């Protein structure tokens, strides 16, 4: 069997990381390499990593010395590019438990040009979906019901009704943990630092896998048990009420909410749409067009709302001071906003493939949805040379060339 380099960044998730490490060694043996990164933790993670590396020769460790976090968007790639020595790498979250034979079942399907995911078994902390299995075997490592999970995997009573015998062996979709040949990962430039420290970096690279022609396979014979979201998003963990129902202890952290909004806006700037996928988590990728907005009576609030949805936006100089917007927003993106936000120029706007003109004073939540769906509308019904009108919008179509494949490589 080929060896895998497991890729595990962690920030102050020590009890989950210990639990995850033990599962890999207990259930998968010592042939696989484990590459861990400590993202300036404050819970003893680095000290524990050093102890493990002293006793386990197949562990590689790296530390971000801080004081700012780098995030897993950066540390995934540091571990893959600088530490992993195997041809195959696997993104494996620190709150995941590797079930027996997970590696064997994933490697059955892995070859160059293929990305293989295991199937997640999770406690019911998030909505159910056809790409995973919701069964409560514990919400924290200290209450983990390992023997019950083993019985479940062996389909012993009462679990035979939960995993049907006629379940498909594979489906087409992707979610962590996922394995890929290192050369395939590196050939598209790895994760995009636009999404550092985290959030939407996975959706971005999944889009790029598909556009580069990689096949996505999820095996339903290899499993992980996933505690879910134990890093930045719900760092306080989960709890159980007297009736046995499970919940995250507190709401999503301010840190995660702020970064998720930032990454969502950057995802829209890059791809021109929200994250889209089918029910089995296969990415749906609408075309990426060169769209410019020409906006009359624009305000700072409107500019903030619509700027990510276009390649360039032109506003009338008396209406707004674009310097104020750029000063506020530039710290949230690697895109150079001075090249995206302009005062109206009747000549320059003719250089764009698609020109959308509208009066911002008439923009509502309802007609704003038209802008968010414009790529799909153009794909379905746009014609070169046409001037379309919808509600407050006038759309001039000079070209329907698409650019999504130019986004494959970072």
- How many Cα neighbours within 13 Å face the side chain of 100? 9
pLDDT at 156: 61
pLDDT value of position 345:
78
* Sequence ranges of the chain with CATH classification 3.90.550.10: 4-271
The token pair that represents 56 in the structure block? 């386990």
The Cβ of residue 262 has, within 10 Å, a number of other Cβ atoms equal to 20
State how beta strands 132-134 and 88-91 pair.
unpaired
Quote the pLDDT of residue 233.
74
Query: How many DSSP H helices and E strands does the chain contain?
Result: 12, 18
What per-residue confidence (pLDDT) applies to 348? 75
Domain 4-271 class?
A: alpha beta
Lookup: tokens for 321? 């001071």
- Each residue's pLDDT expressed in tens, for the chain with a length of 410 residues: 899 999 999 999 999 999 999 999 999 999 999 999 999 999 999 999 999 999 999 999 999 999 999 999 999 999 999 999 999 999 999 999 999 999 999 999 999 999 999 999 999 888 899 999 999 999 999 999 999 999 999 886 566 556 555 567 899 999 999 999 999 999 999 999 999 999 999 999 999 999 999 999 999 999 999 998 877 677 777 778 888 788 777 777 888 899 999 999 999 999 999 999 999 999 999 999 999 999 999 999 999 999 999 999 999 878 788 999 999 999 999 999 999 999 987 777 788 999 999 999 999 999 999 999 999 999 999 999 999 999 999 999 999 999 999 999 99
Pairing of strands 132-134, 96-98: unpaired
**pTM of the predicted model, to two decimals?**
0.94
Residue 388, classified by CB atoms within 10 Å of its CB into exposed (0-12), middle (13-18) or buried (19+), is middle
- Taking the C-alpha atoms of residue 192 and residue 177, their distance in angstroms, rounded to an integer, is 19
Any idea which residue has 């493990």 for tokens?
A: 52
Report pLDDT for 161.
52
SS3 282: coil
Report how far residue 162's alpha carbon sits from residue 140's, in angstroms, rounded to the nearest whole number: 22
Q: What is the DSSP-derived secondary structure letter of residue 138?
A: -
pLDDT for residue 162: 60
- Rounded to the nearest 10 degrees, the angle between the axes of helix 201-211 and helix 254-271 is 30
């Amino acid at each position: 069997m080929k060896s895998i380099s497991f890729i595990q960044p962690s920030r102050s998730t020590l009890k989950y990381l210990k639990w995850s490490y033990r599962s890999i060694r207990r259930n998968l043996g010592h042939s696989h390499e484990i590459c861990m990164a400590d993202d300036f933790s404050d819970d003893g993670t680095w000290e524990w990593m050093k102890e493990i590396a002293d006793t386990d020769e197949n562990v590689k460790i790296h530390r971000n010395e801080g004081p700012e976090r780098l995030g897993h968007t950066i540390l995934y790639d540091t571990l893959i590019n600088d530490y992993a020595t195997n041809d195959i790498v696997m993104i494996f979250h620190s709150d995941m438990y590797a079930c027996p034979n997970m590696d064997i079942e994933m490697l059955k399907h892995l070859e160059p040009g293929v990305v293989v995911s295991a199937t997640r078994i999770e406690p019911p902390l998030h909505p159910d979906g056809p790409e995973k299995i919701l069964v409560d075997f514990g919400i924290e490592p200290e209450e983990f019901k390992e023997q019950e999970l083993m019985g479940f995997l062996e389909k012993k009573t009462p679990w035979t009704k939960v995993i049907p015998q006629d379940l498909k062996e594979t489906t087409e979709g992707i979610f962590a943990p996922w394995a890929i040949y290192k050369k395939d990962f590196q050939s598209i430039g790895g994760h995009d630092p636009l999404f550092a420290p985290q959030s939407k970096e996975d959706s971005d690279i999944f889009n790029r896998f598909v556009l580069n022609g990689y096949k996505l396979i999820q095996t339903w014979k290899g499993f992980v048990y996933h505690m879910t979201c134990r890093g930045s998003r719900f760092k306080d963990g989960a709890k159980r009420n007297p009736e046995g129902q499970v919940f995250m202890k507190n709401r999503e952290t301010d840190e995660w909410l702020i970064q998720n909004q930032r990454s969502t806006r950057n995802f829209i700037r890059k791809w021109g749409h929200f994250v889209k996928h089918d029910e089995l988590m296969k990415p749906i990728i609408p075309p990426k067009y060169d769209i410019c907005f020409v906006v009359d009576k624009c305000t700072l609030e409107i500019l903030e709302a619509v700027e990510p949805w276009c390649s360039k936006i032109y506003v009338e100089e008396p209406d707004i001071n674009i310097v104020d917007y750029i000063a506020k927003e530039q710290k949230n993106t690697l895109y150079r906003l001075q090249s995206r936000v302009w005062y109206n120029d009747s000549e320059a706007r003719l250089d764009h493939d698609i020109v959308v003109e509208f009066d911002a004073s008439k923009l509502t939540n309802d007609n704003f949805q038209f802008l968010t769906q414009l790529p799909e509308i153009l794909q379905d019904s746009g014609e070169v040379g046409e001037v379309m009108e919808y509600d407050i919008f006038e759309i001039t179509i000079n070209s329907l060339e698409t650019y999504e494949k130019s986004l494959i490589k970072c």
